[in-house]
C-alpha cells in the first residue's frame, strides 16, 4: 500500500501524468523564447545599455574587495603563539644580558637550579583573589 502511494506521487511530480499537478504548473507562455532572462538581444553593432543599479553595484563590490584585501592583510597578528614567542625572546635577551654583565660561565639551567627556585613561580601571570 505504501509502495503504491509512493509510486503514484513520483509519477505526478514529474509531470508525466495527465491532468494538473500540485507540484508543477504550466506557466503563462506557450513556448519559451530561449533568451537569457527573457530579453531580446540588442541589434548587431550596438551595446547593451546599463540599468541604473548596475554601476553602483559594481563600484561597491570592487571597493569592498579592495578594502577587505588591504585591511585583512594589514591587521596585526594577535595570536597567543606570537605573544609567547615575543615573551620567550625577551626572556632570552634578559638572561643573556645578565649572564654577560655578571661574567658567569654557568648555564642557565644551573642558575635556575642553584638559586632555590623549583619552577613554581610564575612571573607574568597575575593572580586574582576569588
Burial class of residue 40 (count of CB atoms within 10 Å of its CB; 0-12, 13-18, 19+): exposed
Instruction: Give the model's confidence band at 21: pLDDT under 50 very low, under 70 low, under 90 confident, else very high.
Output: low
Does the pLDDT of residue 31 top 90, yes or no? no
Which range of 9-18, 48-57, 104-113 scores highest in mean pLDDT? It is 48-57
Place of cell 635577551: 93
pLDDT digits (tens, 9 = 90+) for 66-115: 999 999 999 999 999 999 999 999 999 999 999 999 875 555 555 555 55
Q: How far apart are CA 125 and CA 107, in angstroms?
A: 25
For the chain, which residues make up each domain, given as ranges? 53-99
Percent of the chain residues past pLDDT 90, beyond the cut: 43
Amino acid at each position: 500500500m505504501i509502495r503504491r502511494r509512493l509510486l503514484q506521487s513520483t509519477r505526478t511530480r514529474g509531470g508525466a501524468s495527465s491532468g494538473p499537478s500540485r507540484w508543477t504548473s504550466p506557466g503563462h507562455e506557450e513556448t519559451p523564447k530561449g533568451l537569457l532572462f527573457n530579453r531580446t538581444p540588442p541589434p548587431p553593432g550596438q551595446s547593451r545599455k546599463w540599468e541604473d543599479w548596475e554601476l553602483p553595484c559594481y563600484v561597491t563590490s570592487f571597493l569592498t574587495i579592495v578594502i577587505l584585501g588591504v585591511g585583512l592583510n594589514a591587521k596585526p597578528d594577535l595570536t597567543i603563539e606570537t605573544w609567547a614567542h615575543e615573551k620567550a625572546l625577551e626572556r632570552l635577551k634578559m638572561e643573556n644580558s645578565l649572564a654577560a654583565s655578571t661574567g658567569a660561565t654557568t648555564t642557565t639551567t644551573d642558575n635556575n637550579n642553584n638559586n632555590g627556585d623549583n619552577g613554581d613561580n610564575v612571573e607574568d601571570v597575575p593572580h586574582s583573589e576569588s
